Structure formats: C-alpha cells, structure tokens
Amino acid sequence: MREITVAAVQMHPRLDEIEANLIRMGEFIKEICQKEPVDLIVFPELVTTGYECGVRFTDLAERIPGHSINIIAELAREFNTHIAFGMVGKERVESIVYNTAVVVGPDGELLGEYRKVHPKGEERLAFRPGYRYIVVEADFGLVGLMLGWDLAFPEVARSLSLDGAELLCLSANWEKPNAEEWKTYALARAYENSIFLVGANRIGEEYTYSFCGHSMIVGPRGDLHASIDDDETESYCIARIDLDNVRKCREELQMFQCRQPQSYRTVVRKY
C-alpha cells in the first residue's frame, strides 16, 4: 500500500493582492498540517492574484522561482509537505505572461511548472498558452498538473495518465453557472483514466464572474473520497488515499492495454 493524505483548498483570492493571498494560503497550510501530517495540498488557479486582473497581470506576473514560490516553499519545508498552486508566471520578456501551476516539495524545492495549454475566453487576451503537459516526480509518486478549462479536454488527463501520472492536481477557477459541468468532468476524468484527482476550485465574486467551489478528491473509479458541498465557504477537504489502487484499477479494466491509437487520428487533427 502507498497511502498518502491529500487536501484541496477552496479559497476566495483577493483581486490584485498577492501578499494578502499568500498570508491566507499560509493560514490554510498551517491549519491543515497542524491537525495531521499531509503529503499534498492543492490550491486554486491564479490563487495569488485573483482572476479578473486584465492588463494588470503583466505587473503581477513573477519569475519562476520568485517571491510567491519562495514564501510557499518555506511553508512546505516547515510542514514537510508538497504544495501545488496557481499563479501568473512570466518570461524575461515582461509582456509575455502565462497562467501557471507550480508544485513545491517538502525540501522547499520547485518540482515542476506547468503553463496552461487551454486558456478560456478573456484569458486568451492576457496569457500566452503553453504547449506541453507536465508530470512531476513527488516523494510519493507521479503527479500531473492541470489548470481550469484543461478539465474539459479529455486529451489532457489522458496524456498525463499515459505519461505515468497516478494523481492529477487540478487548480481551477470554474464559474457558478457551470457547477454541474465541473462536477461531471472531474468524476469522468478520474474514472476514464483510473486515476486520483484532487480538484481545488475557488469561490467568490469579481467584476463579472462568480465561482462555484465544490472542491473535491476523486478516486480511480469515480468515487468521491471527500468534497466541499457549497459554493460560499472558504474551507478544505482532506482524504487518505492509496495510490496502489491506480495500478489495480488499470489492471482490472485494461483500458490502456486495449487502446487502439491507430484509429484515433481524427482526435489530433486540427479543426
């Protein structure tokens, strides 16, 4: 058995207030880890800045590693845990910014950086899309990173699973009108890939968007290990999971072994 404890944090980031959001993240990390040892904590997408920052994303973007990662890395080291969260990353060219997910390890090191491949709507005006998917080698196993609307594309979770991921860290800003969509996609991606999924979705309102929460931890048979059943409360859910169940389910279902990639050519054809 490879049992680990994972948590998904449902938070309301303050718009443009990086320091306040980092303090709130730190409060959650301390609260969770002081109750019991935790191997992984997942925070929402763009948790350090909020969502509707527009052109201000350029000013809020950080090099990776940088200030926000250094702050969270200290907490990861202090509490001996892995932490995944969303932020705005940038290149040396100041105007090029990315919707980014990062993972820091219990030694305070940066383990991985993923740039969102599927920006949605207005995000396409602010962020340059990424082009590859990242599987991170954590102390307990292999972790795939996803952001927001990536969840709507089955190719993302499948690609990460085929690359060896046993657990998906999903940081999201999913909107209230689409709450049922969020729940359905999360369960489906876990089920169809026989994989664990830790989905951290934000709550709260900004200028034109409101967000649906309902953060959850899903097992490889689509079973709900833990969830937050509302869209108003800052909270977290936590579960003890056994990563060996991923291999067990995949061997039972034979989904990967029975794939016929030569017949899927239209899946990768540009529309």
pLDDT 10s digits, 155-187: 999 999 999 999 999 999 999 999 999 999 999
**Does residue 95 have a pLDDT over 90?**
no
Determine the straight-line distance between the first and last CA of the chain, rounded to whole angstroms. 44
Tell me what pLDDT residue 220 has: 98
Tell me what pLDDT residue 251 has: 95
Domain boundaries, the chain: 3-268
CA nearest to 186, candidates 164, 143, 215: 215
3-268, superfamily in CATH?
A: Carbon-nitrogen hydrolase (3.60.110.10)
What whole-number percentage of the chain has pLDDT above 70? 100
Give me the chain's average pLDDT, please: 96
**Does residue 93 have a pLDDT over 90?**
no
* pTM of full prediction above 0.95: yes
**Does residue 132 have a pLDDT over 80?**
yes
Residue that the structure tokens 């579960």 belong to: 239
For residues 127-146, give the mean pLDDT.
Answer: 97
For residues 227-254, give the mean pLDDT.
Answer: 96
**Does residue 94 have a pLDDT over 80?**
no
CA nearest to 29, candidates 87, 86, 72: 72
Q: How far apart are CA 38 and CA 79, in angstroms?
A: 8
